[in-house]
Structure 1
Amino acid sequence: MEMSGRTMRRQVLLFFSLLSLTSVLGQVSYSIPEEMAKGSLIGNIALDLGLDRKRLTSGKARIFTGDSAEYIELNRERGVLLIKEKIDREALCGQTTPCALHFQVILENPMEFYTVVVEITDINDNTPVFEKSDMKFKISESAVIGAKFLLERAIDPDVGMNSLQSYFLTKTDNFVLNSRGDGTKHVEMVLQKPLDREKREHISLILTAVDGGEPQLSGTMHILITVLDANDNPPVCSKPEYKASVTENAPVGTVITTVRATDIDKGSNGKVTYMISKSGAASLFKIDAENGVLTLDGNVDYEKRRLYELDVQVSDQGGLSDACKVIVDVTDTNDNPPSINVMSKSNTVSENMKPGTVVTMLNIQDPDANENGKVMCVLNENIPFAIKTSTNNFFTVVTDSDLDRETASEYNITVTCSDEGVPSLSSSVTLTLQISDVNDNAPVFERSSYEAYIVENNTPGLSIFTVRARDADWNQNARVSYILEDFSVNGVPVSSYVSVSADSGVIHAVRSFDYEQIKDFQFRVKAQDGGSPPLSSNVTVKMLIQDQNDNPPQVLYPVQTGGSLVAEMVPRSADVGYLVTKVVAVDVDSGQNAWLSYKLQKATDRALFEVGLQNGEIRTIRQVTDKDAVKQRLTVTVEDNGQPSRSATVIVNVAVADSFPEVLSEFTDFTQDKEYNDNLTFYLVLALAVVSFLFITCLVVIISVKIYRWRQSRILYHSNLPVIPYYPPRYSDTLGTGTLQHVYNYEVCRTTDSRKSDCKFGRAGSQNVLIMDPSSTGTMQHFHFTLHFDYSQKFPLHFNSNLSFFTCTMYCFSSSSGGGNGCAVYKLFFIEKFQNMKLIFYSAVWHCVALQLV
């Protein structure tokens, strides 16, 4: 064993001398003796391959041995190869030399493999053994010198010097040993001295077979010779060696060849019989004892053994014999399909893998020879993979183009391998490969933009509508979240208007909307997936507020006040269709909710007046007569077209008279309620008080006007035209929701004959006045006085204007016909536009009344 250890070390050093070359080629070789103990060191594979031991651990290094038994194991931590199971070279390789284990070391991440060859050297662990313990011969005493007797050869499974080397025969005068060929496979006993049955009938010899190992081992066989009488011509083979061939898998009984031998003796001494030595693989063959026909008696396999050598012995009846050799060559047939062994494979591969990435390593084996053993492999069609050969019998499946999980998330790769035999044999294996997802698709909204509608006065938190986005990725990469992007609407963050559910994309109203404040707005919603890094896309959402009929009409003119009275004057000479006044109203709603209609609800005389349904104009429908009451009270209803509709009511007082004094005489009656009509004394006292107050007031005003005119004569307005109050006809809907233009006041000039009325539009914000001459022939006298009214207190409804006072200027006239002096009724029509209200107008009419001066 010490000698075997030194031999092993010498062989390892011999292979290490070639290591630098083989490691570069990805191959390393070792040589070890057989029967090494389990756990024995073979070699430092990490050092010999130039690998870091950490690489063996991180790459999950392992051994792939194919169909061979696993005798070798890899210690990753130490980076060495160890004996896993005790190796018997004879059981592994038989007589084949050299005997070697071929396997591969596989690494992953990235995939690599190296070829390792471990040669198993023989040790002398087997003794030469004879198949028979004894052998008997019957030899005629007449056998000639030089007659040969084939002896059973010994079998030693060892090889090389440890195999059978020589034979030794017990020393005898009659026989010597003669070896043919290499001296070990064929041994003969040669008669060197004639036998004499009379001297010695039985001869016992010992045949010893010796190998060349250290120490030498030997085996023995007992030879028993019986000397027969007279047969002095042995049979002779026609040729010493026969050659024949047989195809593998040939049926039993196939004739291989015929061995021929002759014996010149006659009779029974010349009859030859044939026999095959039962050593080796002779059990696969059979020879006819009488005619020497050699046939197949079993199944031969080219992949197991390609050549058979048979020893045929021919004998006559007298015991003489001869021997010859039959060499049978086994020819190959294509009887083995390729064997596909998966060395390493990936079950999952990312979709962003580059083309050329190895996903599977295959080892293909076909034990057939020549063309029958050449293998080509292909993959099934229409898949983004290809198969390439790396070295002999090794193939790799690689990606051939870009992968897309959204197109195909799984591939069944069928590898089909075929040899080149006739007919060709093939085998296949199907590999399942999952494609893992990469976040390469951004969410996509179902629409390029959205429009949503919501009715005003909604409940906060109301679900308006839903935005949806799809992501073609999978799992977390396809999980979409919705985010409301930062945006401002009229300087206010959009988050104070709407919110979006991160999971469902439902848009909720944060506040209650008012169409009159905001009609529409837009914002952006971002859809973001859960990938790393996340991908996102945006969509614009336009929100349209729909109007509700939540605002009743508002009457701008005539203004209804608690302490003032406005009376429209109609001359008794007015014709049919005479324009008395116009009810002006607005509705801050929109659309049909702002379409206003006017109806006469009540009237003192319904046969005298009518109201325009669309324009609110109050006109006479017949000729005014003297019988008509001076005072007329009209109740007009303004109604919008909403569902349900809303309305407002206004009272219009109309005075039917031809002169101002006539109106004045009836004026006080308009201001009293019916509950006071039965108290005439109260009316008289009240009228006297009013007249007295107005008289004194007029005196003060006239004096003030005179002083003012004297100081401001250059800026006074002079006109020789008689005037009559008249309201402008240009009542227009400025934006579809109102009924008047954006002006502040009007300057109205009117004559006593309303049919000759004219209208002059004044500048915005000016203090123009309305002037009236009570007589048609009077000349205009200028009495100027100013009355100051607190506008904010008079009309506090929604008032926040900067203008808190206005001035009503009254002019009085003297009559050229001697009718006396007096002051007429003047009207100032004023519209204030509030800065903080959109398209909402308010109007106010103030009446300055002066009594006739005495």
Structure 2
Amino acid sequence: IHHVTQTLWGQGLSNTCTITSICVAEMALGQVRYSIPEEMAMGSVVGSIIQDLGLDVKRLKSGRARIFTEDGSEYIGLNAEKGTLVVAKRIDREELCKQVSPCSLHFQIILENPMELHRIDVEITDINDNAPFFSKREYSFQVSESASPGARYSLESAKDPDVAHNAIQTYKLNPTDHFKLNVVSRPDGTKYIEMVLHTSLDREKQEEHKLTLTAFDGGNPQKSGSVKINVVVLDANDNSPVFSQSVYRVTVPENASRGTVILRVSATDNDKGANEEVAYSFSHHTDGASSHFNMDPHTGEMTVIDVLDYEKAKHYEIDIEATDKGGLADTSKVLIEVSDLNDNAPVISIISLSNPIPEDSAPDTVIAMLNIKDLDSDKNGQVKCFISKDLPFKIKSSSTNFYSLMSDDVLDRETVPEYNITITAMDEGSPPYSTNKTINLRISDVNDNAPEFPQPFSTAFIIENNSPGMSLISVKANDKDSGNNARISYFLEDSQLNGMSASAYFSVNAESGEILAVRSFDYEQTKEFHIRVKAQDGGSPPLSSNVTVKILIQDQNDNPPQVLYPVQTGGSLVAEMVPRSADVGYLVTKVVAVDVDSGQNAWLSYQLQKATDRALFEVGLQNGEIRTIRQVTDKDAVKQRLTVIVEDNGQPSRSATVIVNVAVADSFPEVLSEFTDFTHDKEYNDNLTFYLVLALAVVSFLFITCLVVIISVKIYRWRRERVFYKSGGNLPVIPYYPPLYADVGGTGTLKQAFSYEVYGTSDSRKSDITCSRPFKYSDFTLIKPSSTNDFKEVISVLDASLPDSTWTFESQQVSKTKCITVMLSNCGKSYIGIIPAMMDSNIVLYNLSIGTNVL
């Protein structure tokens, strides 16, 4: 504790002494106390807070330092530029505190960022600026001549707003021939004066006495005030009334209703008759207290006539008189103590509030500073402050009557965007009073949530041959944050699709998330794509998430059917052989076509568009089989020309046509005899014979060559078998087949001199053996497989093309030779064949033997 007192004394005219500055500074536990005299000039420095509080001017400015007073008074101001407290307006201690001593101003200095609160007490010391005074200039007393010495007459005490040694110290009565002054001290420390008769009066000698009462204070220089007292001497009343008590004490609750009797006083007079009748009244020099109470002049009952408020006045002092008819009187004091009741609810004031606060605020973050006061006293003025336990906040007392509202848990704006915090202040009275104040606290957003897609995968469909820029799908992500933290942008993640960047195929609208096709797609090339779209918010730092979009290309009927068989050649002539003995339903051939489209766009139908004789042939609508619809006769032309149209099921449909030449004959020479006429254009008729002879020669040569090769292979296999049998090796059993394979159907429609070619398609599972044609030695098929599985693939293709046929095979290996047995059932006939696979070289010749015919 540090005390500094500075007093400057100066002598001037009229011996005037001026106190220029008295300053007492005290700082303990964040509290600073100053002491200044009243009536200091405005702008006078009270003290330096930067020195006494350990602050600097920058902190005062950055913290927006300000003064807060509970009653709103502005006697002291803050000079933030110099860090000093100054007198803001005239301070009159008597007006501010009346008789209360010591007189102090209490206020707080509040700083923010971070929030600080410092309590400042400024004691206002008294100066002798008021002289004693009486409420009246003159008082009159009537004193009976028969009054005995020692009779007392109550006088009004002088008043001096000053306190301590500047208050009234002494009284002086002049003259003192018959009366003297008596100063009486009460038990509570207050004083009152009486005029006491010490010499009997004689009205005949002197009917009236004029006295002067002077009050002196203890100031320097000393000040005084006077009042005149006129004493009128009455005659013939020997006894004055006497109160039963010199001082009456009573306690009244502050909620006493009007008309409540609080006290009954009594006085007795030993005179007889009219002189003993006593009237009660308030003394004429009783001031404002009489406005709250009433005295019945006959009964002496004192009643309440106005509302009492403990917070305004805690006690009353009333002078009462008892006067008889002769004018004799006695005086007494009534001391009324007002007892406090819990009639005031606490008052909550918000000093400072941070609103909104970020959701990532740490626990114990100060949100608001509160001031709570209760005008009641003792327990009635003791306040407890609390909030609901369900809220993530708490109330903490920072100093007397001051509380801090602080965060107590982690906040999440996405869960609760705002809180209604109800602060309850309750006193300890009985019954208790409480006050509620609700603060609507908003939680500001931080970027703590990444965008979320409803599903991690999405699927979009687009028809092939689309136009570039076509919209496929819009992806949408949600972000629980708000503002810029929830503003989502969409990006296409760079990845490789078919060896190219994904951006070469698709683009994404950054605002809407709409996925657009950059180019046109072909279902036959690529059927689906997988891309990833990233959604990124606008926070700092930004957060993102991804969604995988599967884009399926839908087929369009943009490809016409393609005819696989019969092969349409530009210059050669191919015809199918039909014997004249063919029955109804004889399978002439089969048109095999495929469509690279899918679904119903690849469903094919076959129709006979043109024919030399429409009554002889028909085409299967679904399988493309050309069959006879009646018995072939000798009258039917040898050469028949059929035009078959193949149409898919798309919308609109696409089609292709194929020309099938059919030769109706029982022998090959018969066909040759008509061959010269079997041309596409008449300009080749002259050279047809030459071409046919040349073709026959070539075919014969190839046929003989094939026979030699087959015989050589059989001899080679026979020699290899003998070598293995002789070596005693454990060789697998090779199934035996007759040298000649019979026509199981027994219809005799296949000639020994003809061979059949098998055609199939991988996209149609309704294919079958398609047709027969004249055997050509040049039609051997060379395949280069890597294993037997390759042949299985060939069989699977045939099986897919010929669903009405039954294919079976088994493989056995002897040394480097593989034999594959194939069973073929078709067209109502069954055939068995052996395919020897020559493994001595990289080229494998597959031979399909049907009966004795070799393909």
Given candidates 728, 731, 734, the residue that maps to 2:762 is 734
Contact kept, 8 Å, 1:270 with 1:317, in 2: the verdict is yes
Given candidates 125, 129, 140, the residue that maps to 2:144 is 140
Partner of 2:112: 108
Alpha-carbon distance in structure 1 between the residues aligned to 2:781 and 2:570: 29
| Paired amino acid for 1:248 | E
Deviation at 1:149, TM superposition (A): 2.4
Are 1:282 and 2:289 an aligned pair? yes
Partner of 2:33: 29
Label 1:249 to 1:690 Cα distance change in 2 as closer, same or farther (>3 A): closer
Partner of 1:193: 199
Deviations 1:734-773 (A, max 9, x none): 24599799xxxx9x99879xxxx9x98642499xxxxxxx
Partner of 1:261: 267
Alpha-carbon distance in structure 2 between the residues aligned to 1:637 and 1:718: 49
Alpha-carbon distance in structure 1 between the residues aligned to 2:215 and 2:768: 139
Are 1:549 and 2:578 an aligned pair? no
Are 1:399 and 2:407 an aligned pair? yes
Partner of 2:13: none
| Paired amino acid for 1:191 | L
Label 1:598 to 1:293 Cα distance change in 2 as closer, same or farther (>3 A): closer
Given candidates 59, 66, 85, the residue that maps to 2:89 is 85
Are 1:479 and 2:482 an aligned pair? no
Are 1:387 and 2:416 an aligned pair? no
| Paired amino acid for 1:667 | F
Alpha-carbon distance in structure 2 between the residues aligned to 1:727 and 1:211: 151
Given candidates 641, 645, 670, the residue that maps to 1:633 is 641
Deviation at 1:516, TM superposition (A): 0.6
Deviation at 1:126, TM superposition (A): 1.7
Identity of aligned residues (%): 58
Partner of 1:205: 211
Alpha-carbon distance in structure 2 between the residues aligned to 1:151 and 1:540: 104
Label 1:730 to 1:87 Cα distance change in 2 as closer, same or farther (>3 A): same
Mapping for residues 790-829 of structure 1, pairs under 5 Å: none
Alpha-carbon distance in structure 2 between the residues aligned to 1:228 and 1:320: 9
Contact kept, 8 Å, 2:8 with 2:21, in 1: the verdict is no
Given candidates 746, 760, 783, the residue that maps to 1:763 is 783
Partner of 1:616: 624
Partner of 1:488: 496
Mapping for residues 813-852 of structure 1, pairs under 5 Å: none
Are 1:537 and 2:545 an aligned pair? yes
Are 1:470 and 2:498 an aligned pair? no
Mapping for residues 687-702 of structure 1, pairs under 5 Å: 687=688, 694=694
TM-score (normalizing by structure 1) = 0.77
Alpha-carbon distance in structure 1 between the residues aligned to 2:647 and 2:329: 145
Alpha-carbon distance in structure 2 between the residues aligned to 1:294 and 1:211: 35
| Paired amino acid for 1:181 | S
Alpha-carbon distance in structure 1 between the residues aligned to 2:113 and 2:52: 21
Are 1:452 and 2:451 an aligned pair? no
Alpha-carbon distance in structure 1 between the residues aligned to 2:65 and 2:765: 85
Contact kept, 8 Å, 1:581 with 1:727, in 2: the verdict is no
Contact kept, 8 Å, 1:169 with 1:205, in 2: the verdict is yes
Mapping for residues 737-752 of structure 1, pairs under 5 Å: none
Are 1:411 and 2:419 an aligned pair? yes
Partner of 1:426: 434
Contact kept, 8 Å, 2:275 with 2:325, in 1: the verdict is yes
Alpha-carbon distance in structure 2 between the residues aligned to 1:749 and 1:667: 14
Contact kept, 8 Å, 1:587 with 1:738, in 2: the verdict is no
Are 1:371 and 2:399 an aligned pair? no
Contact kept, 8 Å, 2:594 with 2:764, in 1: the verdict is no
Deviation at 1:539, TM superposition (A): 1.3
Instruction: Return 149-158 or 62-71, whichever deviates more.
Output: 62-71
Deviation at 1:552, TM superposition (A): 0.3
Partner of 2:365: 357
Deviation at 1:87, TM superposition (A): 1.8
Given candidates 340, 350, 359, the residue that maps to 1:332 is 340
Alpha-carbon distance in structure 1 between the residues aligned to 2:782 and 2:585: 27
Given candidates 105, 117, 123, the residue that maps to 2:121 is 117
Instruction: Return 452-461 or 718-727, whichever deviates more.
Output: 718-727
Deviation at 1:367, TM superposition (A): 1.6
Alpha-carbon distance in structure 2 between the residues aligned to 1:765 and 1:335: 110
Structure 1 alignment gaps of length 5 or more: 677-681, 767-854
Deviation at 1:545, TM superposition (A): 0.8
Deviation at 1:393, TM superposition (A): 2.7
Mapping for residues 61-100 of structure 1, pairs under 5 Å: 61-100=65-104
Deviation at 1:58, TM superposition (A): 2.4
Partner of 1:595: 603
Label 1:141 to 1:206 Cα distance change in 2 as closer, same or farther (>3 A): same
Are 1:216 and 2:244 an aligned pair? no
| Paired amino acid for 2:392 | P
Contact kept, 8 Å, 1:236 with 1:261, in 2: the verdict is yes
Deviations 1:14-50 (A, max 9, x none): x43xx1xx2x3x3222222222222222222233222
Contact kept, 8 Å, 1:167 with 1:184, in 2: the verdict is no
Structure 2 alignment gaps of length 5 or more: 1-6, 11-16, 718-738, 741-750, 787-855
Are 1:225 and 2:231 an aligned pair? yes
Instruction: Return 196-205 or 129-138, whichever deviates more.
Output: 196-205
Alpha-carbon distance in structure 1 between the residues aligned to 2:775 and 2:57: 119
Deviation at 1:93, TM superposition (A): 1.4
Name the count of aligned residue pairs. Answer: 735
Alpha-carbon distance in structure 2 between the residues aligned to 1:586 and 1:391: 94
Partner of 1:851: none
SS in 1 for 2:618: strand
Deviations 1:638-657 (A, max 9, x none): 11122222110011222334
Given candidates 233, 246, 249, the residue that maps to 2:255 is 249
Contact kept, 8 Å, 1:520 with 1:543, in 2: the verdict is yes
Contact kept, 8 Å, 1:148 with 1:321, in 2: the verdict is no
Instruction: Return 240-249 or 281-290, whichever deviates more.
Output: 281-290
Deviation at 1:319, TM superposition (A): 4.8
Alpha-carbon distance in structure 1 between the residues aligned to 2:591 and 2:269: 157
Partner of 1:834: none
Deviation at 1:463, TM superposition (A): 1.7
Contact kept, 8 Å, 1:451 with 1:542, in 2: the verdict is yes
Alpha-carbon distance in structure 2 between the residues aligned to 1:444 and 1:737: 46
Alpha-carbon distance in structure 1 between the residues aligned to 2:764 and 2:171: 132
Deviation at 1:65, TM superposition (A): 1.3
Alpha-carbon distance in structure 2 between the residues aligned to 1:276 and 1:658: 162
Deviation at 1:212, TM superposition (A): 1.5
Deviation at 1:570, TM superposition (A): 3.8
Are 1:239 and 2:245 an aligned pair? yes
| Paired amino acid for 2:122 | V
Deviation at 1:155, TM superposition (A): 0.9
SS in 2 for 1:118: strand
Contact kept, 8 Å, 2:594 with 2:763, in 1: the verdict is no
Given candidates 152, 155, 165, the residue that maps to 1:151 is 155
The root-mean-square deviation of aligned C-alpha atoms, in Å, is 3.9
Contact kept, 8 Å, 1:444 with 1:470, in 2: the verdict is yes
Contact kept, 8 Å, 1:384 with 1:402, in 2: the verdict is yes
| Paired amino acid for 2:289 | A
| Paired amino acid for 2:436 | S
Deviations 1:450-496 (A, max 9, x none): 11111111122122222222222222222222222112211122222
SS in 2 for 1:242: strand
| Paired amino acid for 1:601 | Q
Alpha-carbon distance in structure 2 between the residues aligned to 1:300 and 1:667: 143
